[in-house]
Amino acid sequence: MEFVYNANPSRVIFGVGARSKVAEELDRLGIKRAIVLSTPGHALIAGEFAEAIGERAAIVYPGAAQHAPVEVTEAAVQAAASVEADGCLAIGGGSTTGLSKAIALRTDLPQLIVPTTFAGSEMTPIIGETQGGRKMTRTTSRVLPETVIYDPELTRTMPRFISGPSGMNAIAHSVEALYAKDRNPIISMMAQESIAALGRALPVLMDDPRNLGAHTDALYGAWLAGCCLGAVGMAIHHKLCHTLGGTFNLPHADLHALMLPYSAAYNRQAAPEAMARVAAALGAQDGPSALFDLMHKTARYKSFAQLGLTEEDLDKAAELAVRNPYYNPRPVTIDSVRELLQAAYDGARP
Ligand code: NAD
């Protein structure tokens, strides 16, 4: 056995009610004047956090937007400077975490993240930013948050159409980690455990969206999935979602949810061990088929046609997806990718 394993040094506090530790954890980081970040929709919650931490909140800034547009970041950096903020407190999903990371990249301010979705960005040293309609991604330890507080009570407000796709987005990190080029035993263990936890929790959430036990399971799975995404390289699934999301401005989690069974099926023969672990985690015979069933229970859009893409769009996407060579267990060709996209367009069982 041979492998390389790099652990990302974040401090994680997990548990029902853990958000009560925010003030204590800010003190631990030496943050005395935080910029409190959220999306506009979460401004009220950000305000509640600001109230709870008293004078440690220098400003509430509810300006986060999807895919971290550079203009939004620049305005937030100015706002932080105007109040001499010495740290970021982000309350929200991947978009809010993205803004915090983008600020940290430019200012080196320490970050405390309180996730409210299952996206997992808080555990990664990866940042994606958009400028002029182009999304650029880079990996640097400068953006890895110092502290993350996971409180399952905070994900309970997600309606089904957000929690379902968000959970599938997390599972996608873990599935790809299982066949990553640089996979290793620890990350594979975390990946399988994460798929099992989310696979148990998501169907419960679709019937009972506020179920606290299921939120605890799902957030635990999402944490593990974020660790996987942060530690090993991703392959065709993330590449295609990145290309399609950026080119056609599609909603991030919905796209991941829809694509995952098809990406997994693409690698079914080339990554048999990974697929066996996916199947075992979901208590099924076949990994891609089980992911398809889960997608059908949880996704808002169940085909590219429903997402509003045309068949011509698929031609363009296939061409873009093979432009830069990248690792995938099965070789990536324009024809095979086009076929994968067609199956997702039709919504057929892969
Ligand atoms: P998001 O943060 O955009 O949230 C989606 C919507 O849900 C928003 O309107 C938000 O206000 C709302 N919301 C969030 N939490 C809620 C809650 N508890 N209750 C009700 N509504 C809630 O979406 P996301 O899927 O969490 O993140 C997507 C973004 O994160 C994308 O930009 C993606 O590229 C990025 N991302 C980055 C990484 C990374 O490692 N860099 C990893 C995963 C995702």
Give the whole-angstrom CA distance, residue 56 versus residue 51.
9
Closest listed residue to residue 301, CA positions, set 259, 342, 343: 259
Residue of minimum CA distance from atom 42 in ligand 1: 121
CA distances in angstroms from 346 to 13, 72, 150, 301, 334, listed in the order given = 42, 37, 37, 12, 18
**Nearest atom (ligand 1) to Cα of 137:** 41
Residue nearest to atom 35 of ligand 1 (CA): 94
Tell me how long the chain is. 350
Question: In 229-243, which positions are buried (b, 16+ CB within 10 angstroms) versus exposed (e)?
Answer: bbbbebbbbbbbbbb
What pLDDT does residue 211 have?
98
Give the right CATH number for 11-154 from 3.90.1530.10, 3.40.50.720, 3.40.50.1970, 3.30.930.10: 3.40.50.1970
| Helix or strand (DSSP H, E) at 34 | strand 34-37
List, chain by chain if needed, residues with CB within 6 Å of any ligand 1 atom: 39, 41-42, 66-67, 92-96, 98, 116-117, 119-121, 124, 126-128, 154-155, 157-158, 162, 166, 169, 229, 252-253
Q: Which atom of ligand 1 is nearest to the CA of 126?
A: 41
Q: To test ligand 1's pocket by mutation, which of 37, 101, 121, 127 has the most ligand atoms within 8 angstroms of CB?
A: 121
Cα–Cα distance measured from residue 238 to residue 229, given in angstroms and rounded to the nearest whole number: 10
Q: Using CA atoms, how far apart are residues 150 and 119, in angstroms rounded to an integer?
A: 12
The complex's ipTM? 0.99
Please give the structure tokens belonging to residue 309: 């893409």
Pocket test for ligand 1, best of 10, 124, 252, 260 (most atoms within 8 A of CB): 252
The pLDDT value recorded for residue 131 is 87
* pLDDT (0 to 100) of residue 330: 97
- DSSP letter, residue 285: S
For atom 37 of ligand 1, which residue has the closest CA?
121
Per-residue model confidence (pLDDT) at position 53: 98
Alpha-carbon span 94 to 42, nearest angstrom = 13
**pTM to 2 decimals?**
0.97
Nearest to 116 by CA among 150, 145, 66, 164: 150
Phi and psi for 162 in degrees, rounded to 5? -100, -45
Q: Where in the chain is the domain with CATH 3.40.50.1970?
A: 11-154
How would CATH label the architecture of 160-346?
A: Up-down Bundle (1.20)
Q: First vs last Cα of the chain: how many Å apart?
A: 33
Where in the sequence of the chain do the CATH 1.20.1090.10 domains occur? 160-346
Pick the residue whose CA is nearest to atom 29 on ligand 1. 94
Q: Residues 6 or more apart from 310 whose CB is under 8 A from it?
A: none
Residue 172 confidence (pLDDT):
98
Burial of 67 (0-12, 13-18, 19+ CB in 10 A): middle
DSSP string, 302-341: -SHHHHT--HHHHHHHHHHHTSS----SS---HHHHHHHH
- In the prediction, which pLDDT does 243 show? 87
The answer to whether 188 and 280 are in contact (CB under 8 A) is no
**Residue 331 neighbours by CB under 8 Å, 6+ apart:** none
Q: What is the DSSP string of 86-111?
A: -EEEEEESHHHHHHHHHHHHHH---E
d(CA 122, CA 226) in angstroms, rounded, equals: 7
DSSP state of 179: T
Strand partners, 57: 34
pLDDT at 229: 98
Residue 324 is predicted with a pLDDT of 81
Strand-pair partners of 36? 60, 89
- Mean pLDDT by runs of 10 across the 350 residues of the chain is 92 98 98 98 97 98 94 98 98 98 98 98 96 85 98 98 98 98 97 98 98 98 98 96 87 96 98 98 98 98 93 92 90 96 95
Q: What is the pLDDT of residue 245?
A: 87
How far does the centroid of ligand 1 lie from the alpha carbon of residue 1, in Å? 37
